[in-house]
Amino acid sequence: MLAFLSRVDEAMNSSGEGATQARETGTLGKLMVLLDLVTHADAPLRFTDILALAGQPRGTLHRQLSHLLEEGLLELDGDGRYAPGLRLLDFAARSWARNEFRLIAEPHLSDLQQATGETVHLGVLRGQSIIYLDKVDGRQPVRMYSQIGNASPCYCTGVGKAALSLLPAEGLVDLLAGLSFTSFTASTHVSAETLLAEIREIAVEGYAFDREEHEAGIRCVAAPVWSQDRSFIGGISITGPAYRLSMELLRQWAVPVQLAAGRIMEDMRIRLGPRR
């Protein structure tokens, strides 16, 4: 309710797709922009590179980076370039291990994986992104960080669209207004209008598809999952290659996905108490 709305409002500011803007968190906000810059780059950055990207005075930037280094949030590689620091791993490991949503969902994800033989994901909406909390893949030991923890856009993933279908009208419109669409494939939504139309449909049906919208050749069917207090708004999905997962098959799997989602929510009611 109130708590939920304020949560979404705040979240609007965070971890979007495009421009990383300074938030109203003073010194911390400025440092997080830098951390974002370095972690989102696909290679270590030299001081001068960051100088150009951050648009800050040299002296200021230098001290900011020094602080981030000293805290272990950034590291210098052998060539004096800035890379993400390993201390982040420790923080994240704890954040993940303790996450209630994930802990409760885990057995149900495994069940769903067993039933379908395909990869199952759990994701949660944070700001404009879906953060993947878990992944169960039958075949080989999973390279987990490669998927878990990854933030993906909400407008072109099954879990993302399922999650959006849970938002109240007002919050949804605000969120969509802030999106900047990247056309990952020919099927990616590129306007808030068509996306909104699909989300309205999803809200009625109770499940969502990803028709190769994020990655060519990859489809999924997803169902929304939420905690009663709305602190978790997300979804679960069955994902796989288009050649194996026909749209017809995905439509059949809508039911088991929704059932699994229902069981997760029931477990949450039991384990977290009636208020949540």
Please say which residue, 70 or 248, places its beta carbon nearer to a copy of itself.
70
- Tell me how far apart the alpha carbons of residues 63 and 95 are, in angstroms, rounded to a whole number: 28
Residue 56 interacts, among DNA, a copy of itself, none and using kind-specific CB cut-offs from 5 to 8 Å, with DNA
3-state secondary structure 73-119: CEEECCCCCEEECCHHHHHHHHHHHHCHHHHHHHHHHHHHHHHHCCE
Please say which residue, 263 or 276, places its beta carbon nearer to a copy of itself.
276
Burial of 110 (0-12, 13-18, 19+ CB in 10 A): middle
CB of 86 to DNA, least distance (A): 20
**C-alpha to C-alpha distances, 85 to 66, 94, 231, nearest whole angstrom:** 12, 16, 29
Please say which residue, 65 or 221, places its beta carbon nearer to DNA.
65
The count of other CB atoms within 10 Å of the CB of residue 89 is 12
Is residue 2 close enough to count as binding a copy of itself by CB under 8 A?
no
Is residue 221 close enough to count as binding a copy of itself by CB under 8 A?
no
Burial of 189 (0-12, 13-18, 19+ CB in 10 A): buried
Site for a copy of itself in 22-41 (CB under 8 A): 23-29, 31-32, 35, 39-40
Can you tell me which of 56, 99, 185, 187 binds a copy of itself, judged by CB under 8 A? Answer: 99
Can you tell me which of 1, 2, 19, 42 binds a copy of itself, judged by CB under 8 A? Answer: 42
CB of 237 to a copy of itself, least distance (A): 17
Is residue 144 close enough to count as binding a copy of itself by CB under 8 A?
yes
Q: Which stretch binds a copy of itself (CB under 8 A): 128-136, 199-207, 217-225, 253-261?
A: 128-136
Is residue 185 close enough to count as binding a copy of itself by CB under 8 A?
no
- Tell me how far apart the alpha carbons of residues 95 and 145 are, in angstroms, rounded to a whole number: 13
